Amino acid sequence: MQVVLASGNAHKAEEISAALPEGIELVLQSDLGIDSVEETGLTFIENALIKARNAATCSGLPALADDSGISVEALGTAPGIYSARYARADASDLENLDKLLVELGEHPNRSARFHCVLVLLQTPDDPTPLIAEGTWHGEIAQNPSGAAGFGYDPVFYLPERRCTAAELTMTEKNKISHRGIALRQMTRLIRERYPA
């Protein structure tokens, strides 16, 4: 089954493709000439639905959307749904990460969590979308470390592993991350709804 991924992020597509069941071929919406849609929702679920509906409408294909972000306890759960545009619209990963470190400063509470929502729609008006969620707990490091991953991974510190998310291999990350948890849940939902 060919599915359009409501994203132009090749890193995200790589992570998602590695975890989905066989038989699902992901195509980036950007490769089909589909532009991103404005995320006007107030929750990760609302934004994932908005993105999936847009991709399904424009492509005529089933659509998978991911909306994810990081919430920092000391910042009142910011940046949350604004994680990808925390510094400004079209901000780079580095700009967003830098703003987060400046905003948090030397605050002693470094507790943070990544949250991911995945939505799969068969059609734009699918009344029963598949929805999966995952959460990953950690802390914000004082300084970035690691070259793998993307987004806030270089400052998302995992005390039990004594490293940041950017110091994990993709295989390690997919086993424990918010997206990995949501993907395993989504895989189960797909297999239940579309048994081979």
Residues marked active site are found at: 67
How far apart are the C-alpha atoms of 129 and 85, rounded to whole Å? 26
Tokens (6 digits) for 94:
């580095």
Chain centroid, CA 167 distance in Å:
18
Q: What is the dihedral of CA 90, 9, 127, 43, to 10 degrees?
A: -40
Say if CB 85 and CB 40 are below 8 A apart.
Answer: no
Which sign does the torsion angle of CA 151, 154, 155, 160 carry? positive
Pairing state between β 63-72 and 2-5: parallel
Do 133 and 116 contact (CB within 8 A), yes or no? Answer: yes
Asked whether 113 and 70 are in contact (CB, 8 A), the reply is yes
Contact, 142 vs 163, CB < 8 A? no
HSE at residue 57, side-chain half, CA atoms within 13 A, is: 11
